[in-house]
Amino acid sequence: MKPNIDDQVNYEGLRYCPRCAAELRRADVREHERLVCPECDYVFYLTPAPVACVLIERDGAILLVRRRYPPQRGLWCLPAGFIEAGESPEESAVREVEEETGLEIRITGFLDSWATAEDPRTPIVSFAFTGDVVGGELEPGDDAEEAVFFPADALPHDIAFTTHRNAIAKFLRDR
Ligand SMILES: [Zn+2]
C-alpha cells in the first residue's frame, strides 16, 4: 500500500502551507508527486504515524479494551495508542496500558509490526508487543470505556483493526 497524492489530501485535508499559508500545489519532488508550497518551498511528506499495542495474557485470558472514541468506536481492541515524540515504542506501550487499563506492565517481547491504511485519519505503522502485569488495579480510563480479560477461547467477535486481530491470532498460534 503506497498512498498517492489524493490520499495525502484526503488524510490531512491539506490545502494551505502550514508555514506561510499560501495555497499548496502538486509537484514532482525527486520522482514523487508531493504537495509543495510555491512561496516558501515547504514540502509535505506524508509519513505514517507510529502506534504501539500490547498483548497481555494472564491466567489464559487476554486483556482487551472497548473503544470510547472513533474510529471503530464501541469495538474491542488491544490497549494501544500513538507513540509520542521522544518515546520509544516500548515506553509508549507501557504508558498506554497504564492510561487505558490502570495496570502496570513490563514488556516481555516483540510480536510483530505492520504498515496499514485502515485508520481513516492517517497511514499507520503498528508495533505489537507482549507484556506481563506487574502492578496496578484493573480500571478503564482515558479512551477505553471498559477493560476486560477475556478467556482466549471466548474472545469477543467485534475486535477492531486487522492488525489487532492478526496480533492476537499470531500470539495464540505461537504460545
Ligand atoms: Zn509556504
Q: Per residue of the chain (175 residues), what is the pLDDT tens digit?
A: 455 666 666 666 788 999 999 999 999 888 888 899 999 999 988 888 999 999 999 999 999 999 888 888 889 999 999 999 999 999 999 999 999 999 999 999 999 999 988 887 788 999 999 999 999 999 888 888 889 999 999 999 999 888 899 999 999 998 8
Cβ atoms of 64 and 156 within 8 Å: the answer is: yes
Check if 146 is active-site. yes
Instruction: Output the CA 39–ligand 1 centroid distance in Å.
Output: 5
- Among 23, 39, 139, 146, which one carries the catalytic annotation? 146
Adjacent-strand bridge partners of 109:
130
Distance 36 CA to ligand 1 centre (A): 8
CA atoms of 22 and 159, how far apart (whole Å): 42
| CATH T-level fold of 5-44 | Ubiquitin Ligase Nedd4; Chain: W; (2.20.70)
Alpha-carbon distance 62 to 130, whole Å?
Answer: 11
CA of 16 to the centre of ligand 1 (A): 8
Q: Is the peptide bond before 120 cis (omega within 30 degrees of 0)?
A: no
Let me know: does 40 contact 24? Beta carbons within 8 Å. no
- Domain 49-174: CATH superfamily, name plus number: Nucleoside Triphosphate Pyrophosphohydrolase (3.90.79.10)
Residue boundaries of the structural domains of the chain: 5-44, 49-174
Give the tens place of pLDDT for each residue, 98-146: 999 999 999 999 999 999 888 877 889 999 999 999 999 998 888 888 8
